[in-house]
Amino acid sequence: MQRWIRNFFDTHRPKFEKEGRFHRYHGLFEAFETIFFLPDSTTSQSPHIRDSLDLKRFMSIVILAIVPVALFGIYNTGFYACLAAGKSTAFLPSFMQGLLIFIPLLVVSYGVGFFWEALFAVRRGHGISEGFLVSGLLYPLILPPDLPLWQAAIGISFGVVIGKEIFGGTGRNLLNPALTARAFVFFAYPGQMSGDAVWISGGATDAVSGATALAISAQAEPGSQIPAMLDQAGLGLFELFVGRTPGSIGETSALLCLVGALILIITGVANWRIMVGGVLGVLGTGMLLNQLATGSLAAAMGLPAYYHLVMGGFAFGIVFMATDPVTAPGTDAARWLYGFLIGALTVLIRVFNPAYPEGTMLAILFMNLFAPLLDHFVIQIRLRKRISHV
Amino acid sequence: MPRPLHKEFLKGLWEEIPPFRLVLGLCPVLAVTMTVENGIGMGLATTFVLVCSNVLISILRNQIPPKVRIACYILVIATFVTIVDMLMQAFTYPLYQKLGIFIPLIVVNCVVLGRAEAFASKNSVLPSLADGLGIGIGFTLSLAALGALREAFGNGTLLGHSIFGPGYQPLTFLVEAPGAFIGLGILLGLMNLISQRR
């Protein structure tokens, strides 16, 4: 089998090389060839190789780290869909139901995304980058499960074209493409994305409460005790940590995001400074707000800071989104600050802006824009120190 | 040797079309182009001011002392803006209400002041007239194009007529502020693409 595939690629390669008939499409050819075989070429754009990892391996490890989160997300999604529809909520039916929801979103994400990638690659005459394998998987995981497919398609088109290709493709984008896509859908179709009514629309009954933990926290009256309200809604600290809660497909389980984080940190693929910085940012800001909280201000100010770590998409965002090597800063000091500010902004948006119950997405996109600036200042400060020593 | 008049006119339609080539006057461009109607109305009001102020400043260009020239330009422009403001209030009241503060704000529109400073103060009356007319019509076309993009996809209508049918779910963010920036960026990118091709 292997030899047959090798032969197939070898016999057809000349057609795609310079002077060949299909030279225009050599990017497509390479993309398919490297799915089967290890490429013998090296990358020319960031993320750069720091050791024996090449871009493809790099991306494979990220995907490996996402798999537990994705599997659990599929089960959890199916569970709530079955619950809302009044069907059996046993493991297998739930998982199948989840697959029925997740697979179409994944197919749309990869299909539409690769279409744009291929179009730009052929047009520009460069290879198709593997970066989209990760973006295309992350994108459906951060969508509400009942999003119409055509909206998902428009979103990923915007994310890939405006978020990435216009800036020159993988390695040159300022913004995380998957998050850009989600932000687009969020602002374009607020009705389907609001998140607090996710499960009501999926089912026929009102008996199943659709409110996510973040929606409860954002809508709480001043003076109310949010942890007690969450417990009452079945969204206690433990459930939130494990992820047995309604929400976007992949974001609910902080525990499995932690597992993913460990994989990424141990293999050195993602930078731990960003993640630790983010957690510190959330805890610091949350505790500061706790000190300032009074009965008349927003009830979310009094929410214990650690709740913010397990509610909504923060864990998923800081582990898989914020650490994207292209859009995060490249110097260590800047990474600390970048992570810290993502955490701080997330809490500030969640607490003080009831219109946006989830602040993680906006916080990461906002800090994406500042990443080059942070790097610039870190380098300037270093240079100044050196000059004084001369 | 001055350039022929039609060239002074035509440059405003492509080579120096505001706000894409001459990136000036962005405030009204972003603020009022929710619909085609608004865009055309704003564009025509600006064109009127641009042509009149260009002509008058060109006539007075040797009388205006250089040290206070900007103040004089503003005075001339403000006069015409007041005229257009009152005319619109009298004859196109609904549009006038929609455009609101942005009509008086034409006084500080950089396109108008920029043409006065860069062109009318250095050229005779006829070329200034052609320049003002060209740039003004170019500005109107740009605003109409951006307005069309935002109205069609953001509201599903064009000049108030439904174009995609009742099933269309509008991209509401396009009629809001971020849509203005993204729309402007897309049109600017398309123009650069077309220019490169030539």
* ipTM of the shown complex: 0.72
The model's pLDDT over B139-161, given as tens digits with 9 standing for 90+, comes to 999 999 999 988 888 888 888 78
Chain B residue with CA closest to A155: the answer is B171
Asked whether residue A187 falls in the same domain as residue A217, the answer is no
How does DSSP classify residue A130?
T
DSSP assignment of chain B equals -PPPHHHHHHTTTTTT-TTTTS---HHHHHHHTTSHHHHHHHHHHHHHHHHHHHHHHHHTTTTS-GGGHHHHHHHHHHHHHHHHHHHHHHH-HHHHHHHGGGTGGGGG-HHHHHHIIIIITTS-HHHHHHHHHHHHHHHHHHHHHHHHHHHHHHHSEETTEESS-TT----GGGGSHHHHHHHHHHHHHHHHHHHHH-
Q: Does B95 touch chain A (CB under 8 A)?
A: no
Residues of chain A in contact with residue B189, where contact means CB-CB under 8 angstroms, are 166
Nearest in space to A144 (alpha carbons), one of A318, A312, A261: A312
CA distance to partner chain A, nearest, from residue B145 (Å): 20
pLDDT-wise least confident of A34-38, A138-142, A258-262, A377-381: A34-38
Best mutation target, B155, B173, B197, to test chain A (most A CBs within 10 A): B173
Q: Does B178 touch chain A (CB under 8 A)?
A: yes
Residue A185's domain comprises: 54-207
Name residues 76-105 of chain A within 8 A of B (Cβ).
none
Asked whether residue A182 falls in the same domain as residue A329, the answer is no
Q: Does B124 touch chain A (CB under 8 A)?
A: no
Q: Does A369 touch chain B (CB under 8 A)?
A: no
Burial per residue of A334-366, b for 16 or more beta-carbon CB atoms within 10 angstroms, e otherwise: bbbbbbbbbbbbbbbbbbeeeebbbbbbbbbbe
Residue A193 in tokens: 């994305």
How does DSSP classify residue A309?
H
Asked whether residue A65 falls in the same domain as residue A185, the answer is yes
Asked whether residue A198 falls in the same domain as residue A275, the answer is no
The model's pLDDT over A57-82, given as tens digits with 9 standing for 90+, comes to 777 888 889 999 999 988 888 888 78
Q: Decide if B57 contacts B121 (C-beta within 8 A).
A: yes
In a domain, A257, yes or no: yes
CA distance to partner chain B, nearest, from residue A187 (Å): 6
Asked whether residue A182 falls in the same domain as residue A268, the answer is no
Best mutation target, A174, A189, A369, to test chain B (most B CBs within 10 A): A189
In a domain, A15, yes or no: no
Residue with the larger pLDDT of the pair A196 and A179: A179
- Phi, psi dihedrals of residue A327, rounded to the nearest 5°: -95, -5
In a domain, A135, yes or no: yes
Nearest in space to A340 (alpha carbons), one of A292, A302, A300, A374: A374
CA A39 → CA A32, A57, A117, A120, distances in Å?
11, 11, 19, 21
The model's pLDDT over A274-295, given as tens digits with 9 standing for 90+, comes to 999 999 999 999 889 888 877 6
pLDDT-wise least confident of A41-55, A261-275, B118-132: A41-55
Asked if pLDDT for residue A354 goes beyond 90, the answer is no
Asked whether residue A173 falls in the same domain as residue A293, the answer is no
Helix axes B36-59, B125-155, angle to 10 degrees: 170
What percentage of chain A reaches a pLDDT higher than 70?
A: 79
Contact state of A166 with B173 under an 8 Å Cβ cutoff: no
Which of A23-32, A101-110, A202-211, A236-245 holds the top average pLDDT?
Answer: A101-110
Burial per residue of A87-107, b for 16 or more beta-carbon CB atoms within 10 angstroms, e otherwise: eeeeeeebbebbeebbeebbe
Asked whether residue A215 falls in the same domain as residue A161, the answer is no
Residue with the larger pLDDT of the pair A219 and B32: B32
Asked if pLDDT for residue B83 goes beyond 90, the answer is yes
In a domain, A2, yes or no: no
CA distance to partner chain B, nearest, from residue A289 (Å): 30
pLDDT band at A207 (very low <50, low <70, confident <90, very high): very low
CA A120 → CA A21, A25, A151, A179, distances in Å?
19, 11, 22, 20
Domain end, chosen from A177, A207, A237, is at A207
Q: Decide if A373 contacts A179 (C-beta within 8 A).
A: no
pLDDT-wise least confident of A203-207, B15-19, B126-130: A203-207
Nearest in space to A245 (alpha carbons), one of A217, A220, A223: A217
What percentage of chain B reaches a pLDDT higher than 90?
A: 44
Q: Does A366 touch chain B (CB under 8 A)?
A: no
Residue with the larger pLDDT of the pair A140 and A197: A140
HSE toward the beta carbon, residue B61, CA cutoff 13 A: 18
Nearest-CB residue to B173 (from A162, A166, A187) = A187
Contact state of A162 with B182 under an 8 Å Cβ cutoff: yes
Contact state of A188 with B189 under an 8 Å Cβ cutoff: no
Report the distance separating Cα A362 and Cα A384, nearest Å.
Answer: 33
Q: Does A168 touch chain B (CB under 8 A)?
A: no
In a domain, A100, yes or no: yes
Asked if pLDDT for residue A201 goes beyond 50, the answer is no
Residues of chain A in contact with residue B168, where contact means CB-CB under 8 angstroms, are none
Report the distance separating Cα A40 and Cα A173, nearest Å.
Answer: 25
In a domain, A34, yes or no: no
CA distance to partner chain B, nearest, from residue A186 (Å): 10
pLDDT of A44 reads 56
In a domain, A310, yes or no: yes
Report the distance separating Cα A159 and Cα A183, nearest Å.
Answer: 9
Asked whether residue A139 falls in the same domain as residue A238, the answer is no
In a domain, A387, yes or no: no
What percentage of chain B reaches a pLDDT higher than 70?
A: 99
pLDDT of A208 reads 38
| Count of CB atoms situated within 10 Å of the CB of A54 | 17
Asked whether residue A233 falls in the same domain as residue A140, the answer is no
pLDDT band at A101 (very low <50, low <70, confident <90, very high): confident
Residue B197 in tokens: 């091709």
pLDDT of B13 reads 81
Q: Decide if A302 contacts A224 (C-beta within 8 A).
A: no
How many inter-chain contacts (A to B, CB under 8 Å) are there? 11
Best mutation target, A147, A187, A366, to test chain B (most B CBs within 10 A): A187
Secondary structure of A50-78 in HEC code, one letter for each residue: CCCCCHHHHHHHHHHHHHHHHHHHHHHHH
Asked whether residue A198 falls in the same domain as residue A220, the answer is no
Report the distance separating Cα A43 and Cα A168, nearest Å.
Answer: 15
Asked whether residue A233 falls in the same domain as residue A316, the answer is yes
> What is the pLDDT averaged over residues A80-103?
82
The model's pLDDT over A151-184, given as tens digits with 9 standing for 90+, comes to 899 999 999 988 888 887 777 888 889 999 988 8
CA distance to partner chain A, nearest, from residue B184 (Å): 13
Residues of chain B in contact with residue A162, where contact means CB-CB under 8 angstroms, are 182
Asked if pLDDT for residue A48 goes beyond 70, the answer is no
Q: Does B30 touch chain A (CB under 8 A)?
A: no
Asked if pLDDT for residue A4 goes beyond 80, the answer is no
Q: Does A188 touch chain B (CB under 8 A)?
A: yes
Contact state of A187 with B182 under an 8 Å Cβ cutoff: no
The average confidence (pLDDT) of chain B is 88
Asked if pLDDT for residue A312 goes beyond 50, the answer is yes
Nearest in space to A275 (alpha carbons), one of A311, A237, A214, A328: A328
Asked whether residue A303 falls in the same domain as residue A266, the answer is yes
Chain A residue with CA closest to B182: the answer is A162
Residues of chain B in contact with residue A166, where contact means CB-CB under 8 angstroms, are 189
Number of domains in chain A: 2
pLDDT of A200 reads 40
